[in-house]
């Protein structure tokens, strides 16, 4: 994402006035630096790990009945207060899958095969975890795992997998998603095992909470009980019984995606700030001059998310409500991110308390 250099000063001034802070797409230097640093460390690690995985596979030195080892990953992969992203983990199963898929004409065949590999691994990791959990947390984890399995069984992508087995055909994307759902859950359980091993104290109960239902379009609504604001909604139709605060210049600048430039405007209100833009107009069959709400930044507890989370809520409440999200950290704040299509919910957490909530439309690549 690039920003017109001419507009940098304007952007910085507006951010200082608006208090958008860490989560605004116009103030993501710290986030980008963190991700780039993590990615570099990850890439360096992968190059070393490829050799180690090859040796371990040939020597059969991983845990019995398991292809995942708690000692196989750099510490930053698992620490919740720093960074956790299952896409950054590279395991022996990933190694074998990449090798197999590169040898097949259709990658969906490998994905279908390896979803069973991940399912067997998940069973192993769950059994290992249950052996060390106290009775109360064991019951909560079993309830959590049952809810996850029910969600998987009733999920649309799982039905597509069953259609494939019945001979009705399938697509590469569906098979990859079906495999990735099981892979992600397996690594979440492995992470709990790691955190328990590294801590003398029991983990907070939210690690064993029942998985939240998947995000829906309604989750990108916020309301104060009378007024509702919807992300990616036409700004020309936006109607609210609050007065917009006057600012000297509402034009922020431009965002870029390849050859396309998107104009961005800023709107300041007492309890929230809005950014409006023609972002992604070229991918959404919209006109260049059609402006939509592309960022909602809540500043007070007056407005709540569709599921009832407001500024001041605890991190436990957030995770109990939405489940585990992608976690980023700038050293002082942690940002927990949830995504649906090209939309993100970003919750800034400090000292276990939410102090910022942003809904953002992501610029298409």
Q: How far apart are CA 281 and CA 79, in angstroms?
A: 39
Tokens 């797409």, residue located: 25
Tell me: the pLDDT tens digits for 114-123?
A: 888 998 899 9
Q: How far apart are CA 343 and CA 264, in angstroms?
A: 16
At residue 301, the 3 state secondary structure works out as: coil
DSSP 234: B
**What is the largest distance, in Å, between two alpha-carbon atoms of the chain?**
69
Tell me: the pLDDT tens digits for 135-177?
A: 888 888 888 888 778 777 765 455 444 544 444 444 565 677 7
- DSSP class per residue in 258-274: TTEEEEEEEEE-SSEEE
Q: Which of 171-180, 217-226, 304-313 has the lowest mean pLDDT?
A: 171-180
Q: How far apart are CA 29 and CA 27, in angstroms?
A: 6
Per the rule left: phi > 0, alpha: psi between -120 and 50, beta: everything else, 212 is beta
Q: How far apart are CA 235 and CA 341, in angstroms?
A: 20
At residue 305, the 3 state secondary structure works out as: strand
More confident call, 111 vs 260: 260
| Contact between residue 38 and residue 88 where contact means Cβ atoms under 8 Å apart | yes
**pTM of the predicted model over 0.85:** no
């Amino acid at each position: 994402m690039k920003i017109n250099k001419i507009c940098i000063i304007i952007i910085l001034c507006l951010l200082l006035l608006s208090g958008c802070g860490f989560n605004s797409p116009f103030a993501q230097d710290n986030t980008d630096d963190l991700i780039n640093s993590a990615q570099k460390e990850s890439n360096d690690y992968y190059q070393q790990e490829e050799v180690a995985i090859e040796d371990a596979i040939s020597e059969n030195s991983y845990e019995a009945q398991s292809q995942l080892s708690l000692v196989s990953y750099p510490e930053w992969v698992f620490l919740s207060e720093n960074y956790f992203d299952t896409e950054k983990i590279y395991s022996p199963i990933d190694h074998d899958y990449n090798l197999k898929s590169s040898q097949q004409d259709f990658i969906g065949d490998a994905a279908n095969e390896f979803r069973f590999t991940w399912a067997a691994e998940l069973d192993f990791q769950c059994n290992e975890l249950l052996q060390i959990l106290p009775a109360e947390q064991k019951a909560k984890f079993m309830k959590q795992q049952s809810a996850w399995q029910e969600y998987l069984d009733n999920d649309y992508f799982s039905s597509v997998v069953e259609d494939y087995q019945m001979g009705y055909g399938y697509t590469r994307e569906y098979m990859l998603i079906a495999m990735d759902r099981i892979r992600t859950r397996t690594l979440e359980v492995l992470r709990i095992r790691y955190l328990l091993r590294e801590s003398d104290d029991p983990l907070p109960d939210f690690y064993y909470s029942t998985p939240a239902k998947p995000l829906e379009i309604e989750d990108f609504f916020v309301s104060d009980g009378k007024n509702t604001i919807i992300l990616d909604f036409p700004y020309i139709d936006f109607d609210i019984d609050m007065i917009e605060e006057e600012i000297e210049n509402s034009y922020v600048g431009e965002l870029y995606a390849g050859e396309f430039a998107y104009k961005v405007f800023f709107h300041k209100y007492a309890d929230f700030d809005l950014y409006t833009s023609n972002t992604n107009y070229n991918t959404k069959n919209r006109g260049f001059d059609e402006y939509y709400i592309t960022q909602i930044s809540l500043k007070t507890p007056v407005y709540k998310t569709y599921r009832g989370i407001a500024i001041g809520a605890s991190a436990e409440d957030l995770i109990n409500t939405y489940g585990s999200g992608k976690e980023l950290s700038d050293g002082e704040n942690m940002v927990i991110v949830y995504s649906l299509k090209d939309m993100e919910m970003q919750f800034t957490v400090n000292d276990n308390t939410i102090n910022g909530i942003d809904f953002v439309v992501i610029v298409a690549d």
